[in-house]
Amino acid sequence: MHIPDGYLSPQTYVPLYAAFAGFIGVALKKVRQTLSAKNIPYLGMAAAFSFLIMMFNVPIPGGTTGHAVGAAIVALVLGPWTAVVAVSVALIIQAFLFGDGGITAIGANCFNMAVVMPFAALLVFRLVRGKIAAGWRVHLASFLAGYISLVVAAVVTAVEFGIQPLIASADGKPLYAPYGLEIALPAMVIEHMVLFGIIEGLVTMLVLMYFIKNDRESVYALQEVKR
């Protein structure tokens, strides 16, 4: 899902850099104000977890790769703004040290995986769980939060490079990503629907089950539920 250099035009990556800068600015402020001292070590662990899980890149026919992200579980346990910070740190380190994702595309990659995913995951979790505090519905909600949020991020990513032939061409030839939406969307979305979304969902559900059992009071997504 990491977009490399050369796939996005300045018309795309500059606004996404600006959008990401706005989100990370708000996220840093909120994390300083709301993250408890008890959960500070979790922030570093969340960034390391996201970094590790994203390193398992699997090549897919069509020239793309897929992987889980870990953003959903970070959002559910520590909150979406903390997830923005943790996943962004992992993505930036990957781009600069390992060349996983382009430097010009850092804003886009962080927006897709560190902004879209956490908020989508929390929204799905709350919609599916309702007011239920425990049981199978919470487990289903956590699985769907991971699954759907990853698929949504894949759709957003595909749209970003799928529109390049429309907005950045010369003499009818694409200057950046050469494939339109009719190719980009199936190539990105199908693989995440049938494989990587399921992995993301299972990881999200299993890790949340662990936290519910051992440190329920720290789970952000359940804090408003009366027990």
* Tens digits of residue pLDDT in 125-184: 999 988 777 788 899 999 999 999 999 999 999 999 899 999 988 888 889 988 899 998
In a domain, 199, yes or no: yes
In a domain, 141, yes or no: yes
In a domain, 152, yes or no: yes
Residue 60: the pLDDT is 61
Query: How many CA atoms within 13 Å lie on the side-chain side of 163?
Result: 11
In a domain, 132, yes or no: yes
In a domain, 161, yes or no: yes
Q: Show the domain range for 182.
A: 10-222
CATH number of the domain enclosing 155: 1.10.1760.20
In a domain, 118, yes or no: yes
- C-alpha 2, offset from chain centre: 11
In a domain, 227, yes or no: no
Specify burial of residue 116 (Cβ count, 10 A radius: 0-12, 13-18, 19+).
Answer: buried
Question: 13-17, 18-22, 123-127, 218-222: which range is least confident on average?
Answer: 218-222
In what helix (H) or strand (E) does residue 18 lie, and over which residues does it extend? Answer: helix 10-34
In a domain, 4, yes or no: no
Specify burial of residue 112 (Cβ count, 10 A radius: 0-12, 13-18, 19+).
Answer: buried
- Confidence band of 226 (pLDDT split at 50, 70, 90): very low
Task: Reply yes or no on whether the pLDDT at 20 is more than 90.
Answer: yes
DSSP track, 86-110: HHHHHHHHHHHHH--S-STTHHHHH
Question: 45-49, 57-61, 216-220: which range is least confident on average?
Answer: 57-61
- What mean pLDDT value characterizes the chain? 88
Number of Cβ atoms within 10 Å of the Cβ of 63: 9
Q: Which of 100, 111, 79 is nearest to 12 (CA)?
A: 111
How many domains would you assign to the chain? 1
- What pTM, to 2 d.p., does this model score? 0.89
Question: 108-112, 129-133, 198-202: which range is least confident on average?
Answer: 129-133
